[in-house]
A and B are shown apart, each in its own frame.
Chain A
Amino acid sequence: MRNPFRSEAEAFSFVLVCVGVFAVVAVAGVLFGGWVALAVFLVLAVGLAFYIKGAPKEAEHVAAHGGGERRCILVVANETVAGRALRGEVVRRAEGDADVLVVCPALNSPLRHWASDEDGARALAHDRLEESLGALSAAGVEARGEVGDADPIQAMDDALRTFGADEIVISTHPPGRSNWLEKEIIARAQERYDVPITHVVVDLEAEREAD
């Protein structure tokens, strides 16, 4: 959802949109009376609300090549960060010599996010991250980790500013249970970053039953 007052420039654009919308309402009011103007206003307001709600995040291409001697792997995962399937994939890909950065987005409720109340979410993400890094270390992969933004795309953007990845591994729950898959995170990441994206599905329930 787009906030029309997110910045001065967007607020200015919103002024222009309002001028247009209310000019139409005013013309309808003068020509056909108050009730028609009200109907026109409601139609335009609903249209505007749908536009604001459905506005897609602007597509932006982000270069992410590491280009260094060591292979750089960026791993992004939330609750599945400590899953065996992900660990196996990371160990396999990091074989030899590789820098691995694990980013664990701090999942939060929308209300808490907008209120910047992120302490609890970050603490939980930190715990999951520690568990994952410990398991990777035990498997012979020395990785480092960061708690990232609740939006995985934003978290990847943030991480790639300081970590030039050669590839990105994104871990999610299976289809039907994954919020990230519903939001088409994988497709958006493939469109956004010019490095190979690997999608790992971690079925935590199946792993627990297997234990």
Chain B
Amino acid sequence: MATAEHAHDHPPVAHQSSRVDSRLLGIYFFIASEVMLFGSFFSAYFFARVVVGGDEGWPPPGFELPVYLAFLNTVILVTSSFTMHWALQSVKRGNRSGLIAGLTLTFLLGLTFLLIQAREYTRLGFAPYDNAFGSTFYGLTGLHGAHVFIGLNLLLYALIRSVKGHFGPEAEKHLGVELPGIYWHFVDVMWIIVYVTVYVI
């Protein structure tokens, strides 16, 4: 009787594929949904660009984007992927100070990116409600900026945990760094696409 009661204390152990960890699977699905979200914003951008830009040119006359400042931001964000990778490699090798330094640098680079973007917004000279160009520009870059903000929160959480010594070289013990890392690289990839699409071509 006691055994039967004990058996109901917790749910049965779930079947676990040896290839896809459920937590990794969660981040895959999340990234897939994010790709669809960004895809919808890109669709709106290209629709506006073809429909409006076909008559007026794109960007419309009188609108100019700070291409070189955005390039600097691109370099900053790509560099943050390197530091993120370094952080994870450090924890895999049991190098806690490398992990903390990597996460700190990644966080600071991400914060710099966001501050530069905020500064850019204040000096652009146009607003989201001005026209379709403004709407799609702020929509795409703002959506990405929101993702950077979420990523910074994840990084800060991982950084606090790493300072407290929660992570270790074993695969199970550094998932809390690996998952934010995957998210951060995704945000980086999206920015590269946004930059080339919106600022360059």
Chain A contacts to B: CB under 8 angstroms: 3, 5-9, 11-12, 14-15, 18-19, 22, 25-26, 29-30, 33-34, 37-38, 113-116, 118-119, 122, 149-151, 154, 158
A135 to B24: give the CA distance in the assembly, Å: 40
Chain B contacts to A: CB under 8 angstroms: 14-20, 22, 24-25, 27-28, 31, 58, 78, 81-82, 84-85, 88, 177-178, 181-182, 185-186, 188-189, 192-193, 195-196, 200-201
Q: Which residues of B contact A7 (CB under 8 A)?
A: 24, 178, 182
A34–B201 touching, CB < 8 Å: yes
Q: Which residues of B contact A3 (CB under 8 A)?
A: 28
In the complex, the chain B residue whose C-beta lies closest to that of A11 is B185
A19–B192 touching, CB < 8 Å: yes
Given known A-B contacts A15-B78, A26-B200, A151 and B19 have beta carbons under 8 A apart:
yes
A155 to B177: give the CA distance in the assembly, Å: 29
Among B78, B81, B181: residue with most chain A CB under 10 A: B81
B81–A15 touching, CB < 8 Å: yes
- Given A12-B82, A115-B25, list of 10 further CB < 8 A pairs? A5-B27, A8-B177, A8-B178, A18-B192, A22-B192, A37-B200, A37-B201, A114-B20, A118-B15, A118-B17
User: Of B25, B185, B196, B200, which contacts A116 at CB under 8 A?
Assistant: B25
B19–A149 touching, CB < 8 Å: yes
5 contacts between A and B (CB under 8 A): A15-B189, A30-B201, A38-B201, A113-B17, A118-B17
| Interface SS of chain A | helix
A154–B182 touching, CB < 8 Å: no
A201 to B85: give the CA distance in the assembly, Å: 47
B181–A158 touching, CB < 8 Å: no
Q: Measured between C-beta atoms, what is the minimum distance from B109 to chain A in Å?
A: 13
A29–B200 touching, CB < 8 Å: yes
A11–B186 touching, CB < 8 Å: yes
In the complex, the chain A residue whose C-beta lies closest to that of B182 is A11
A8 to B28: give the CA distance in the assembly, Å: 12
A12–B18 touching, CB < 8 Å: no
A14 to B193: give the CA distance in the assembly, Å: 13
Q: Which residues of B contact A5 (CB under 8 A)?
A: 27-28, 31, 182, 185-186
B196–A29 touching, CB < 8 Å: yes
B193–A22 touching, CB < 8 Å: yes
In the complex, the chain B residue whose C-beta lies closest to that of A158 is B18
B27–A119 touching, CB < 8 Å: no
